[in-house]
């Protein structure tokens, strides 16, 4: 899934698969921003568009894994949809983690923000 959604489709569709941290606004605003990045991404030219790479890349990889690795009895459309939903859910949680990780790391290390920014 990472290869298809993070490299192949973004290259073909001219999308930027990287996550850009918001770090402005409150907890709910930043969480909403991170969740929205599953559905909205930047283009190579800097604009925004539907995140075809993530949504369709996850669907393609779910289909490949379901019909290649699961037992024959589990090779069904509902099971594929379940795998796809799980992948998108995990990716959403990952993006929320990426949004807040710098803040968490700073609090854990007990370094003031000015010190944390020094090389």
- Sheet (strand 40-43) strand order: 15-16, 40-43, 48-50
Bridge partners for 50 per DSSP: 40
Q: Which residues share a beta bridge with 40?
A: 50
What is the value of pTM for the model shown?
Answer: 0.80
Q: Which residue shows structure tokens 């949004």?
A: 99
Q: How far apart are CA 18 and CA 27, in angstroms?
A: 21
Pair of tokens at residue 42: 């930047």
Bridge-based pairing of strands 48-50 and 40-43 is antiparallel
Token pair for 65:
């894994």
**What are 64-113's pLDDT values in tens digits?**
999 898 889 889 999 999 999 999 999 999 999 999 998 888 888 876 65
pLDDT in tens, 15-56: 999 999 997 899 999 999 999 999 999 999 989 999 999 999
> Which tokens belong to 40?
């909205």
């Amino acid at each position: 899934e990472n290869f298809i959604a993070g490299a192949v489709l973004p290259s073909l569709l001219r999308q930027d698969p990287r996550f850009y941290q918001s770090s402005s606004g409150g907890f709910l605003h930043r969480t909403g921003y991170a969740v929205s990045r599953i559905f909205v991404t930047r283009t190579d030219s800097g604009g925004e568009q539907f995140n075809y790479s993530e949504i369709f890349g996850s669907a393609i990889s779910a289909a490949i894994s379901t019909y290649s690795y699961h037992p024959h009895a589990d090779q069904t459309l509902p099971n594929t949809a379940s795998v796809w939903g799980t992948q998108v859910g995990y990716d959403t949680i990952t993006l929320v983690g990426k949004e807040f990780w710098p803040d968490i790391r700073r609090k854990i290390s007990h370094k003031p923000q000015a010190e944390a920014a020094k090389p």
